[in-house]
Structure 1
């Protein structure tokens, strides 16, 4: 059971773990052990997730999310399979915790007169700098 918050938990049956050989340090031992972990969680079909959380997760622009709505997280940070397993589970929990809080609505604001004047003054200054770069007498 992966505990996300006090009210939300994901059963282990919904998590699919696959172990693979990791690259990186480890000497000859790295060629024989499957210490990297690939965790798959089907966001689209998960009965554990509330609908609003599922919608927020599916609308995220995350390259780890497949077209079928499966979140794939790979862990090969550590040389130990158990630590990599804990790492990917914690990363999944953080992603879901981020989707628990609804985003704040953006309040449209207008730029102040002073900020418009500062912007225009900066543009004029930049224009004068660029005009000074030409050949002498060319811009007169």
Structure 2
């Protein structure tokens, strides 16, 4: 079970994790084995709420295909278990970022004081530029 939020959980059968590579690291130290993990998650056939599905399908991320399949590869760690945990954590953060409401920023008007300061600054700069160009004789 992967818990996305307090109310949403994904069952293990919904997440397909397979080992895609187990090979020697190469070079002189061939005893080290890198185990990569390939995680596939189908949005359309999942038990996610409809709101989550809509947001995920509309979310622009290269890991989400047009058919609604999320593919995540994890190969940062040497052990298969750590790579599985990493892939699941990435899936969780991807779903959370897609569903999170974007804050609408309220445009703020500049105050009278800040407008006056800006105008004063601009006029002072203009004066020094004009004085810089003239040569006193």
Whether TM-score is above 0.5 comes out as yes
TM-score by length of 1: 0.67
- What is the aligned partner in structure 2 of residue 50 from structure 1? 49
Between the aligned partners of 1:72 and 1:10, the Cα distance in structure 2 is: 16
**Higher strand residue share:** 2
Structure with higher Rg: it is 2
Confirm or deny: 8 A CA contact 2:4 2:10 kept in the other structure.
Answer: yes
**3-state SS of paired residue (1:93):** helix
- Structure-2 change in CA distance of 1:24 and 1:115 (3 Å): farther
2:35 touches 2:79 (CA, 8 Å); kept in 1? yes
1:19 is the counterpart of 2:19: yes
Equivalent-residue separation in structure 1 for 2:21 and 2:31 (angstroms): 10
**What is the alpha-carbon distance in structure 1 between the residues aligned to residue 88 and residue 105 of structure 2?**
32
Structure 1 portions without partners, runs of 5+? 117-140
The 5 A counterparts of 1:26-41 are 27-29=29-31, 35-41=35-41
- Distance (Å, rounded) in 2 between the aligned partners of 1:50 and 1:90: 20
For residues 81-104 of structure 1, what are the alpha-carbon distances to aligned partners after superposition, in whole Å with 9 as ceiling and x for unaligned?
Answer: 110011101111111122332222
Give secondary structure in 1 for the equivalent of 2:18: strand
Which residue is 2:60 aligned to? 61
- The answer (yes or no) to whether the contact 1:22–1:76 under 8 Å persists in 2 is no
Contact 1:3 1:10 in 2 (8 A): yes
Unaligned segments of structure 2, at least 5 residues = 116-137
Q: 1:102 maps to which residue?
A: 101
